[in-house]
Amino acid sequence: MADRTGYRLQDQIGFKLRLANQRHLEIFSAAMPDLTPRQFAVLVKLSEEGTLSQNHLGRLVAMDAATTKGVVERLARKGLIATAPSPNDKRRIEISLTDAGRGYLAGAVPVAAEISALTARNLSPRELDRLLALLDKL
């Protein structure tokens, strides 16, 4: 039931985005229980870009500095990434994939593609393309 203003929570974009994100996170967690989506994003971005400063890496995967630091620490403990002071600026930390990280990612990327397919399974290819384009506009 709408209130007097006509506002209905279940009709709001934020509410629908949160529900869709929750569903995606459930699918991700079931298929890839040893990594979070943020950890996976960091591994993929390092694979794409090579060694990056921690700050730049965080910007590329849309995470704030504190979140990036925590994700990097957890991935380093898992042996999937290495951290080292920058040779040019000792205040800067450089992050790179380890051999174990590259190996892990080789097996995880097909799983991630399946996660995306499962998340969008009720959409036609055209609907999915349109949804992705619309999300880019936000």
For residue 118, the domain's CATH number is 1.10.10.10
Query: Is pLDDT of 33 > 70?
Result: yes
Question: Could you list the residue range(s) of the whole structural domain that residue 96 is in?
Answer: 12-137
Sign of CA pseudo-dihedral 25, 117, 13, 38: positive
pTM of the model: 0.89
Is 1 within the bounds of a domain? no
Say what angle helices 99-119 and 13-31 make with each other, to 10 degrees.
130
Is 64 within the bounds of a domain? yes
Is 117 within the bounds of a domain? yes
Query: Is pLDDT of 107 > 70?
Result: yes
Is 4 within the bounds of a domain? no
Is 5 within the bounds of a domain? no
- As a whole-number percent, the residues of the chain with pLDDT over 70 amount to 98
Beta bridge partners of 64: none
Give the mean pLDDT of 8-30.
95
Query: Is pLDDT of 79 > 70?
Result: yes
- In the chain, how many domains are there? 1
Please give the pLDDT value at position 28.
Answer: 97
Is 36 within the bounds of a domain? yes
Which phi and psi angles does 97 have, rounded to 5°?
Answer: -75, 145
Tokens of 69: 């630091």
Please give the pLDDT value at position 76.
Answer: 97
Mean pLDDT computed over every residue of the chain: 94
- pLDDT higher at 136 or 6: 136
